[in-house]
Amino acid sequence: MSEPHLVLRGVHRHYGEGDKFVRVLEAADLTLNGGELVAIVAPSGAGKSTLLHLCGLLESPQSGEIEIMGIETSRLGDRGRTQLRRSTVGYVYQFHHLLPEFSALENVSMPQIIAGKPLAEAEKRSRELLDLLGVGPRASHRPAELSGGEQQRVAIARAAANHPRVILADEPTGNLDPATSDLVFDALFGLIRNEGAAALIATHNHDLARRADRIVTLQDGLVVDHQL
Ligand SMILES: Nc1ncnc2c1ncn2[C@@H]1O[C@H](COP(=O)(O)OP(=O)(O)OP(=O)(O)O)[C@@H](O)[C@H]1O
């Protein structure tokens, strides 16, 4: 079997001190393999966003190891972390965060251009992704000219633009109605399988979580397997 895309070992993360001390993760372990889709379902404040930020190298743990594509990240400096994040991680948020003055095609091309890809190649990849996610016909539309579900599918295409090995999604359907959530999840699932990425998706939607390969929750600072 190929190496896991993401591994957390004994990760500890707390915030604040004294009466503001909040222990979020105590000794969290998690392994995500390529093509695997894991849903994380836990109550508000349990630490889902914290876990995703740690996996995406946006925050550092106080102790423990986080490995992405075999690279142990604790000894990397800020530049090394940023480089690794840009080349291996794609992030999808609850609100799409697309750039309002740019078209769907430009929004998806942007991270590729920043990574140094020539424009024609970037646009080719963007069109493939937009087609795969069912929003190809909206490529020239700006975010305000798209529905909520379309905006979110463009945001997923953008997250996948640089072939990330790990896709992290924080409530990606949190502000969509059930039918649209289903559509966006279908698109996200199809994409992850197609690209062979590993995905960790925080969601409050149990029906969607059940469609993942595995469901985990956070309990006493640990990541534990969960059945709904
Ligand atoms: N920067 C911070 N400083 C202090 N405490 C923080 C910080 N970020 C998060 N916390 C605390 O850590 C805990 C976990 O927060 P987190 O946002 O990870 O939860 P969550 O499970 O994503 O919640 P929700 O479902 O409501 O978004 C919360 O109790 C929160 O108050």
Q: What is the ipTM of this complex?
A: 0.97
Burial (CB count within 10 angstroms: exposed 0-12, middle 13-18, buried 19+), residue 21? exposed
**Residue of the CA atom closest to atom 1 of ligand 1:** 15
In whole angstroms, how large is the CA radius of gyration of the chain? 17
* Residue list, ligand 1 pocket, CB within 6 Å: 15-16, 22, 24, 42, 44-50
Q: How far is the CA of 170 from the centre of ligand 1 (A)?
A: 13
Residue ID of nearest Cα to ligand 1 atom 26 = 44
From 41, 49, 170, 219, mutation site for ligand 1 pocket: most ligand atoms within 8 A of C-beta: 49
* CA nearest neighbour of 94 among 40, 148, 37: 148
Cβ-proximal residues to 65 (8 Å cutoff; 6+ apart), any chain? 7, 8, 9, 10, 11, 72, 73, 74
- Domain 6-225 matching CATH 3.40.50.300: the answer reads yes
Q: pLDDT per position in the chain (228 positions), as tens?
A: 578 999 999 999 999 999 999 999 999 999 999 999 999 999 999 999 999 999 999 999 999 999 999 999 998 999 999 999 999 999 998 888 999 999 999 999 999 999 999 999 999 999 999 998 899 999 999 999 999 999 999 999 999 999 999 999 999 988 888 888 888 888 888 888 888 999 999 998 898 899 999 999 999 999 999 988
Domain ranges in the chain? 6-225
Question: Ligand 1: which residue has its CA nearest to atom 16?
Answer: 47
| pTM for the predicted model, two decimal places | 0.93
Ligand 1 centre and the CA of 45: distance in Å? 5
Find the DSSP H helices in the chain.
Answer: 48-55, 78-88, 104-114, 119-132, 148-160, 178-195, 206-209
